[in-house]
Structure 1
Amino acid sequence: MFQKRKQKMRKVGFVLLIVVLITILYGLNTGSLKIAPFDVIKTLLGQGTDIWEMILFDYRLPRICITVLAGFGLGVAGAIFQGITRNPLADPGVLGIHAGAGVGLMIYMTYFTSLNTLPALTIPLFTFAGGIVAATLIMLFAYEKGKGLLPNRLLLVGIAIAAGFNAVTLYLSLQLDEKTYSFAASWLLGNIWGRDWIHVYALLPWILLLIPIVYMKSKTLNSFSLGDSLAMSIGTRVNDERIKLLGLAVALSCASVAMTGGIGFIGLVAPHIARRLVGPAHEYLLPISGLVGVVILVLSDTIARSIFEPSAIPAGVIVSAIGAPYFLYLLFKAKKY
């Protein structure tokens, strides 16, 4: 049984990787200046013209790398949130974590107006700090003495916290100068335009370090699906592990949205699709959720740039157009049971 599941995960993962590679190749070809797929490959191998190299390596590749890293981080973060809350509607955006990250970014922009210089490496730290404050408030209000964190209450508290933090973000953004405010507004919509290699370097360590740690917690996440009482009976320190996993999920989601903007719903949709493909076991669910998140974000960004040329729209608009109806579908489905 376990061998069959592992083989299925490998097959699904391989197919998703092929989809990701095809989408990336199309994304590198897409833009105001078209580059044929064969010429893209030649350029990546160092045999392209100077113009092609400048377009690919200075503009398109950093953006593609950001969407790949952030898509994986958001997909895994969503799987963690749904695992620790046992709530299929849990998502870092819905729970208010992204709203906290937005406040962190506004504070960064108050002191550092440039997003393409060395201080940009600290952006994930600011968004993580904002996300941690939001998560702490959510846990305080969703905690009940003797029962610990109440999964169902997390969602309602998260929505309320998100509303408060969004108001703070709006207030802080109005204090910025016109140019910085323009960027802040596009960030809130999930605009990935203008990302540079320094943003890739800022996000890469968070993904490389945290994903393996999360994967090692797969069995702990599996135990949460049994319910808190049964999980404790098999030796899981429920509250301690829930807080640790919550911290990991906050770090992944906040670091990701620091570079992609306020993109929501990937953490909601990706785990659901992955669960249908490989089942609920988190040792299979986590990596597939990450890959599905990559497919959604890379494809959304590519659609946003290609279909609406020359006036590209933020990738977050495409993701929301997919995620919002799916959220309503899940909400309606939950009411039926």
Structure 2
Amino acid sequence: MNNKQYYVTLPDKAQEGPYDEKDLITRYQAGEYPKGTLVWQEGMDSWILIETMMSNVERITNDERRTADCKPNTPPLPAIIPPPPPSIPDNFKKEYYVADYDGNKQGPYSLDELKNSVKTGKLYGSELGWKQGMTDWVSLEDILDTRPVTYYMEPQSWVACSFFCASSILSIALTIAFSERSYDAFMICRLMCRLTLLTASILLLIRLFKAWKVLQNISARIRIPSPGQAIGFLFIPLFNFYWGFVAFCKISSLGNKLLKRPGSIQLWPFLTYCILNILGFIVLVASGGASSRGAVERWLIVGNIISICSTACAIFLIYYINKLIFKYNKTK
């Protein structure tokens, strides 16, 4: 036997000790320590299972008995005060108390126990919690940081949505001016419509560039084009129609992993936006080659419908990309 002092941590994280080796063996043999109990003494790097420690003690004791007659009598070692055992992690410390809606105090709980209680529904999360050192009771949502994240739209996203809406309004005004044979109003509306649509598209590409940078960071094991390449491919004639599907759908699939949402919920607006862009290009070519005024007016009406639907999808895309960037900045 040695005179080292042992500390014990039970499976419920309660600590006992110090005990000398004889007391520890007696308590273990009496069945006071269930399976999973940890033990530590000075000189040990970390806690070990008491079963492992006891098997080593029995082996050493048997060896000592066999060689006891050969050893000279030696005086006992002087008693020393052992250093404190390694500290228990904060999330295991039972230091939190909870006040329910009737004013009854419960506890103490560890931080992990509080999280599990809220997760399993034993606690709502809106109860009050307190631990020593806090000046007042606060909501468990603040202690556990479980309040839902409030997303906000960046100014650049609001501006992009505004320009997309303005382009749809000007497209309708252009059609009205054409039907009323107001040439000057038609030319002004067409110029303003193209400028607003161009500005909205540039702002959307900027948001797409930032979203692709997020994808590059969260998909380190997947080889994808750089943000500059992703945007540059959209300026290659004809190939850009194909790449539009790839670029926007890749944002949806990889972005949903960060936002933890099913891919089927968010994919259809991206696909619809790409399809509407192709249809818009076809309508533009068809209206330019129309042989009669009535045909041009019909193509303009079809273009208005496509423009309104495309604007709705674009606003959703901007909102989703904004949320993706916000979530990434919040978690990195």
Give the alignment's TM-score, normalised by structure 2: 0.25
Give the alignment's TM-score, normalised by structure 1: 0.25
Would you tell me which structure has more strand in proportion to its own residues?
Answer: 2
